[in-house]
């Protein structure tokens, strides 16, 4: 096993890996940009290395810098987290060139799955069902029109190098194709430096269901059940759960075996996720394979009891998987709500600033994977995710109930957040019934325009009382009378008032 | 000099501080405006019974965490707000979102009414950048009429394109930014007539 | 089901019950003394009622005040938590007299189990094994000497009304008996207002193992496995775990059935715990029954998946238990570390003051049931418990590993705490081997006298740099250059520096 | 006036603040005493390389959370301390406990040595109450010799009897409290010769 691992990431996922390292008795080395010197992942790691200015293109994405500090630190492995360099085959190769183990799949598998076209071809060869569409990148707009006519509208234009909703356009009719192609291409170019796009049939009201797989370097590959990630906004997942309300034992086995076939076709090892679109009749189609640990991996951890991050590191160090397919048992139900600094009332506009107040929920069935603390800054440079709030219960009903309780307890002030949004979704009858699709937000989410009048009234009273207090300047002496001695003891530095 | 507001914050940081029993004005009326709603709050010295829009409420109001955390029990129902002075009023953060409140006392309010002021005007005056970012598109022109929900400017921030929309109807007077320009948070992007 | 429940307690257990209420859709009403107006349980409850000055004898222990605010609030039930009025039969009767449901056992059961003598008699009748000792309170010191000679030294002198180590004395030889009786009596008098004591055989190196039971009002009574609570300091539990490393399936069934017999003998309903002493040969003896939810109940929740606090409220409202004995399945291993504001290096002396810094751990397998927040006060008036830190893993090894990781992450500054103490215990070879006894701390705990020199050196460097910074007063302008705009935005109130 | 220490706290509250590049004295030696250990720390202006007891270390030191949270990277190893000014030195809270540090600069140190001062004296001088409580027993008398670990006073607090023990050897000079007396935190209970 490794003695030290460098974590080439930031935020909650860096912390997730720090925790995995500690559980394995491995020293963790963090990296940080100028914007992250005080970030929680730096506060929790054993060591921390500076890698440059805030923009990720000058720090977290610079392969040479990461390799350099890894060498300097003496780390034997690098965990890339998700995002940044996690699915960069060049980086994986640079690691092995430097004699450092990349905690992830082989570069060839990253490359193949990163190229949507190549992946589709391999899946066809491996008998994994795919969505009808192009097998080659689309060059000209006219070509796109012909393909669209062939497979029928609506179609989806996607970046070949894409992910996370970037470089993606839905086109409902012929007249929109040209602008769609152009938009997707330019977004893809700026996001991935690769403007190749492809086209596939757009499924109406699909469900997004994915299978977690993990494979060792000894030829063992196991699936760990599914996650349903249909609740999305801006084409990005916000609520995930496991198991899926749609999937039964038969479908789970079929999808799981297809996912393992997909992984084997790519010569895969380490953790990975095979994403499928499913229709309400339980047909499913290969969408893509994410060659890394997913944001939403904890829901799988909760229902299987398997620690994916430690298992990743074990496998990367050459160990065999500690379990077989038959050992994987699903128990209970887990939900993840991604808590973002964003305003659902303004089209999910990200919010930045100081976390003035920050108090996480806890208690039975609750886990919070967060990357912040009270007084920390939500910076403009990175993803505005505050935390992943997870609930676990004996069944879906209890998981929902506990999640609502945790959302109610969560206190975030100073930046906008989507806690109310999550509550609205989780209380929605269609969500409770498990009738999900990737259009759920568009179809069902209707934010309350006005805050509850009871809260407004209480706020008005509080403002008046606060103002009243300020105006009627109270002398210090009258206040000091009521202060206990222990308080006085601890209030020393920075206070004018204890100096008389 | 310590600014008055800092004093207030530090002072109220004492968790055990009860609302003091002396030194308060006998009676005071405040008008608090939140959005388009107005609340008349009557406070009588340090009497825990106040009235809001004529209704009596027994309150227990304290500050914690250096003064920013306001805890209110209103007829024993628990509320919690994080108050931040802002533009002569208060930004109010609560567990389900945030709002802005303007507060004036009765005297000032009467004066304002005499002078014909409207208080917190909510008409479309200008569009400010809600976060720092890069202007990737300007969707309106000077002189153009816009209605609520119309897209005005697209700002890229946090790797996402964010379309800023009109929060009401208005007529564009001036565009302060152009495509490709980096903007600060709260920088004025569009001015309306 | 109730619509509103009043919680006659404070701190983490009040919050535990608030969470249970939320999970059941019940409104929660908190109570608070002057010292607790800003306490976390008040911040999290739906309603809060003032009940008097800080000393619990003038607030949390005043039955009339609690009943009054319960009536005022319109609560249909009162949950007593643990401690305070939880095992007060008079209070349970006062509730029912006021037409309010007491969320706990019937008053007669509380009374019987609260009287150690009566409990022992009932256990003998019900064939539950007990430790040899007196069946009647000991009146005179001479009587004590005779009994001691009969059952043999060492003996244990215990308060009849006792619990939590108060009014307890171990006597190794005849010469110590008189002072032991006197000491136990006076402590019992001041703690419980009842100076009756009794004597029993003192087991050398016993293990403290207890069985969780829960019964409904329809005659169903189920045991939920055991908890081992052998790690104690000042006769109080500090580390608990489930399952016990000593207990196998056979012993679990025997103990479980004895516990159910004990509960039935008391006409018990609601949640309760039957405490046993066990020797290393797996013999076990009834110690006492705690007629309430225990501090350490969450370890049972973690390994059974059963939510004890909600189940309590369900049963109290008249519902049947939602499961039967055969449904109870134990999976994995759970540990609880009680985090106290106390100094293990000074004989576990309690510490009070302001929590200057407070950051809880989280991540896979971690749950924190706490009653505090950063900036809150650890008051001199109540129990100095900060939180209950819980870990869960697939086996004991993983539970220990995860607990150590969480202890490492936990940041508490401003008051002394026992985090290092817990680390020392959890890393001890005898603890890892599961060789536990109630003398574990005395026998094995040897605190490091000196802090690690690496930390001292780093502290010295930090102090020098801090001092250097203060002495070389930096002008504001040179600092402002590096401050991002978003920070400036949020730093408004209270700062001189943004005003120029 | 804002006290100097408050300024320092507020200033260092800016999370992004790097150690400034100017305005620092060229070179400064500090002697830090923790318990009976002494550390010589040489700081050269804003040079990240310092020496501690002659050994070179590259440091990155920042303050967060209003200045109280000190983060130190020493040769990339991460440390975190919560510093609180106390009795002319610093109380240092860290994740595994707390300690007290005295810090003097070279000049003061030299002066002190000349004047024969010993710095942070650690001999048994007095027993203070570690928490507020009630004295339930005094176990020593004036003139009595005590050794490390001897019980001195029993204080009841948080419903528990806490025996305060001698942290070293000494001779009791004066008992400042009596049985039944309520004491404040840090109140002197016993004075030694």
What is the interface pTM, i.e. ipTM, of the complex?
0.84
Fold of A4-103: Rossmann fold (3.40.50)
How long is chain B?
193
Residue B101 is nearest to which of A345, A459, A470, comparing CB atoms?
A: A459
- DSSP code for B67: G
Distance from the Cα of B8 to chain A's closest Cα (Å) equals 6
The distance of Cα C152 from the centroid of its chain, to the nearest Å, equals 32
| 8 Å CB contact of A486 and D131 | yes
| 8 Å CB contact of B158 and A345 | no
- Is the model's pLDDT at B18 over the cut of 80? no
How long is chain D?
193
CA distances from B43 to A223, B50, B91, C37, D137 (A): 65, 5, 21, 21, 51
Digit-coded pLDDT (tens) for C45-73: 999 999 999 999 999 999 999 999 999 99
| 8 Å CB contact of B28 and A345 | no
Per-residue pLDDT band for A292 (boundaries 50, 70, 90) equals: very high
Distance from the Cα of D60 to chain A's closest Cα (Å) equals 9
| 8 Å CB contact of A485 and D184 | yes
- Residues on A contacting D at a C-beta cutoff of 8 Å: 29-30, 34-35, 37-38, 42-43, 45-50, 72-73, 374-377, 484-486, 489-490, 492-496, 499
Backbone φ and ψ of A86, nearest 5°? -60, -35
Question: Which residues on adjacent β-strands are paired with residue A6?
Answer: A29, A78
SS3 C325: helix
Residue C492 is nearest to which of B2, B80, B84, comparing CB atoms?
A: B84
Residue A138: predicted pLDDT? 87
Per-residue pLDDT band for C166 (boundaries 50, 70, 90) equals: confident
**pTM for this prediction:** 0.84
Cβ of C490 under 8 Å from any chain A Cβ? yes
Catalytic residue among A120, A196, A292, A367: A292
SS3 C97: helix
Digit-coded pLDDT (tens) for C427-461: 999 999 999 999 999 999 987 766 678 999 999 99
Q: C236: part of which helix (H) or strand (E)?
A: strand C236-242
Residues from chain B contacting residue A473 (CB–CB below 8 Å): 7, 23
Cβ proximity of B60 and A348 under 8 Å: no
Distance from the Cα of D115 to chain C's closest Cα (Å) equals 23
| 8 Å CB contact of B165 and A357 | no
| 8 Å CB contact of B103 and A413 | no
Residue A19 is nearest to which of C19, C364, C486, comparing CB atoms?
A: C364
CA nearest to C490 within chain D: D14
Q: What is the CATH number of domain A207-444?
A: 3.30.470.20
- Is the model's pLDDT at B23 over the cut of 60? no
- Is the model's pLDDT at A42 over the cut of 70? yes
| 8 Å CB contact of C46 and B184 | no
Subunits next to A (3 or more Cβ pairs <8 Å) are B, C, D
Per-residue pLDDT band for D24 (boundaries 50, 70, 90) equals: low
Residues from chain A contacting residue D15 (CB–CB below 8 Å): 37-38, 376-377
Of A28, D37, D32, which is closest to residue C453 (Cα–Cα)? D37
Cβ of C400 under 8 Å from any chain A Cβ? no
- Is the model's pLDDT at D119 over the cut of 70? no
CA nearest to B58 within chain A: A461
Of residues A219 and C167, which shows the higher confidence score?
A219
Residue D121: predicted pLDDT? 42
Per-residue pLDDT band for D187 (boundaries 50, 70, 90) equals: confident
**C185 labelled catalytic:** no
Of B169, B170, B172, which is closest to residue B138 (Cα–Cα)? B172
Residue C468 is nearest to which of D30, D72, D159, comparing CB atoms?
A: D30
b/e burial code for range D155-169 (CB count within 10 A of at least 16 → b): bebbbbbbbbbbeee
The residues, any chain, with a CB within 8 Å of residue B47's CB and separated by 6 or more, are none
| Alpha helix stretches (DSSP H) within A364-395 | none
- Is the model's pLDDT at A282 over the cut of 60? yes
Residues from chain D contacting residue A46 (CB–CB below 8 Å): 77-78
Separation CA A243–CA A214 (nearest Å): 17
Q: What is the mean pLDDT of residues D152-178?
A: 82
Q: What are the boundaries of each domain within chain A? A: 4-103, 132-201, 207-444, 461-500
Cβ proximity of B12 and A469 under 8 Å: yes
Digit-coded pLDDT (tens) for C301-320: 999 999 999 999 999 999 99
Residue A23: predicted pLDDT? 98
Residue A380 is nearest to which of C394, C401, C486, comparing CB atoms?
A: C486
Residue D185 is nearest to which of C191, C352, C451, comparing CB atoms?
A: C352
Q: Establish how many alpha carbons lie within 13 A of residue D166's alpha carbon, considering only the half-sphere containing its beta carbon.
A: 23
- Residues on C contacting B at a C-beta cutoff of 8 Å: 29-30, 34-35, 37-38, 42-43, 45-50, 72-73, 374-377, 484-486, 489, 492-496, 499
Catalytic residue among C292, C314, C338, C367: C292
Neighbour count for residue A160 (Cβ, 10 Å)? 21
Q: Distance from first CA to last CA of chain B, Å, rounded?
A: 41
Residues from chain C contacting residue D90 (CB–CB below 8 Å): 463, 466
Number of H-type helices and E-type strands within chain D? 2, 16
Per-residue pLDDT band for A484 (boundaries 50, 70, 90) equals: very low
- Is the model's pLDDT at D18 over the cut of 50? no
Phi/psi-derived region of residue C383, left when phi > 0, alpha when psi is between -120 and 50, beta in every other case: beta
Residue A160: predicted pLDDT? 82
- Is the model's pLDDT at B40 over the cut of 90? yes
- Is the model's pLDDT at D184 over the cut of 90? no
Cβ proximity of A57 and A82 under 8 Å: no
Residues from chain C contacting residue A353 (CB–CB below 8 Å): 486-487, 489-490
Cβ proximity of A423 and A389 under 8 Å: no
Separation CA D2–CA D4 (nearest Å): 6
Of residues C79 and C474, which shows the higher confidence score?
C79
CA nearest to B89 within chain A: A463
| 8 Å CB contact of C486 and A379 | yes
Digit-coded pLDDT (tens) for C112-132: 999 888 998 999 999 999 988
Digit-coded pLDDT (tens) for C191-217: 888 888 889 888 888 999 999 999 999
| 8 Å CB contact of C463 and D32 | yes
CA nearest to D78 within chain A: A47
Separation CA D118–CA D115 (nearest Å): 9
- Residues on B contacting C at a C-beta cutoff of 8 Å: 2-3, 5-6, 9-10, 15-16, 18, 60, 62, 64-68, 71, 73, 76-78, 80, 84-86, 131-132, 184-186
The residues, any chain, with a CB within 8 Å of residue C247's CB and separated by 6 or more, are C209, C226, C228, C255, C282
| Alpha helix stretches (DSSP H) within B55-136 | 106-114
| Of the options 3.30.1490.20, 3.20.20.70, 3.40.50.1980, 3.30.70.1150, the CATH number for the domain spanning C132-201 | 3.30.1490.20
Alpha-carbon dihedral sign for residues C181, C185, C191, C194? positive
Of residues C137 and A38, which shows the higher confidence score?
A38
Q: pLDDT > 70: what percent of chain A?
A: 93
Say what the alpha-carbon torsion angle C118, C119, C121, C125 is, to the nearest 10 degrees: 140
């Amino acid at each position: 096993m490794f003695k030290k691992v460098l974590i080439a990431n930031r935020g909650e996922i860096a912390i997730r890996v720090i925790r995995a390292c500690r559980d394995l008795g491995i020293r963790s080395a963090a990296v940080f940009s100028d914007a992250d010197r005080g970030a929680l992942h730096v506060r929790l790691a054993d060591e921390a290395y500076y890698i440059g200015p805030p923009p990720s293109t000058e720090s977290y994405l610079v392969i040479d810098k990461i390799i350099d500090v890894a060498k300097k630190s003496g780390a034997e492995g690098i965990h890339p987290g998700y995002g940044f360099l996690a699915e960069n085959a060049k980086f994986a190769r640079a690691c092995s060139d430097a004699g450092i183990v990349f905690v992830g799949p082989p570069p060839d598998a990253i490359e193949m799955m990163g190229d949507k076209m190549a992946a589709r071809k391999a899946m066809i060869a491996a008998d994994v069902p795919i969505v009808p569409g192009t097998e080659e990148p689309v060059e000209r707009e006219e070509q796109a029109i012909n393909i669209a006519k062939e497979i029928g509208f609506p179609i989806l234009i996607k970046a070949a190098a894409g992910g996370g909703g970037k470089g993606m356009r839905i086109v409902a009719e012929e007249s929109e194709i040209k602008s769609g192609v152009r938009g997707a291409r330019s977004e893809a170019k700026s996001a991935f430096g690769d403007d190749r796009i492809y086209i596939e049939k757009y499924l109406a009201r699909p469900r997004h269901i994915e299978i977690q797989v993990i494979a060792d370097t000894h030829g063992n590959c196991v699936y760990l059940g599914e996650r349903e990630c249909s609740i999305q906004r801006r084409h990005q997942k916000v609520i995930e759960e496991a198991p899926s309300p749609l999937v039964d034992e038969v479908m789970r086995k079929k999808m799981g075996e297809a996912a393992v076939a997909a992984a084997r076709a790519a010569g895969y090892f380490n953790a990975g996720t095979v994403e499928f679109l499913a229709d309400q009749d339980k047909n499913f189609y290969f969408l893509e394979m994410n060659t890394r640990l997913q944001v939403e991996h904890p829901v799988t951890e909760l229902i299987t009891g398997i620690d994916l991050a430690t298992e990743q590191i074990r496998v990367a160090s050459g160990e065999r998987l500690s379990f077989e397919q038959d050992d994987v048992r699903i128990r209970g139900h887990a939900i993840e709500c991604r808590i973002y600094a964003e305003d659902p009332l303004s089209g999910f506009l990200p919010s930045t600033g100081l976390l003035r107040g920050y108090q996480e929920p806890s208690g039975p069935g609750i886990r919070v994977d967060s990357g912040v603390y009270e007084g920390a800054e939500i910076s403009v440079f990175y993803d505005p995710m505050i935390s992943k709030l997870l609930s676990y219960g004996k069944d879906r009903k209890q998981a929902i109930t506990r999640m609502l309780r945790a959302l109610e307890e969560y206190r975030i002030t100073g930046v906008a957040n989507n806690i109310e949004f999550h509550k609205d979704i989780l209380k929605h009858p269609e969500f409770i019934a498990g009738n999900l699709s990737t259009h759920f937000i568009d179809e069902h989410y209707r934010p309350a325009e006005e805050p509850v009048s009871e809260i407004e009234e209480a706020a008005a009273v509080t403002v008046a009382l606060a103002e009243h207090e300020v105006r009627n300047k109270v002398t210090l002496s009258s206040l000091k009378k009521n202060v206990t001695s222990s308080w006085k003891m601890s209030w020393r530095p920075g206070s004018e008032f204890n100096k008389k | 000099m310590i600014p008055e507001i800092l004093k207030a914050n530090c002072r109220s940081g004492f968790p055990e501080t009860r609302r003091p029993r002396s030194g308060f004005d006998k009676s005071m009326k405040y008008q608090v405006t939140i959005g388009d709603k107005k609340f008349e709050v009557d406070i009588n010295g340090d009497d825990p019974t106040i009235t809001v829009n004529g209704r009596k409420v027994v309150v227990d109001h304290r500050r914690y965490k250096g003064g920013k955390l306001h805890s209110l029990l209103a007829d024993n129902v628990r509320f919690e707000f994080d108050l931040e002075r802002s533009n002569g009023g208060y930004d109010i953060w609560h567990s389900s979102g945030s709002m802005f409140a303007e507060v004036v006392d009765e005297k000032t309010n009467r004066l304002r009414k005499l002078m014909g002021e409207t208080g917190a005007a909510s008409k479309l005056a200008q569009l400010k950048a809600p976060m720092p970012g890069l202007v990737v598109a300007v969707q309106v022109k000077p002189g153009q009429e816009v209605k609520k929900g119309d897209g005005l400017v697209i700002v890229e921030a946090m790797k996402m394109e964010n379309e800023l929309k009109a929060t009401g109807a208005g007529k564009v007077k001036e565009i302060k930014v152009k495509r490709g320009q980096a903007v600060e948070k709260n920088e004025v992007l569009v001015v309306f007539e």
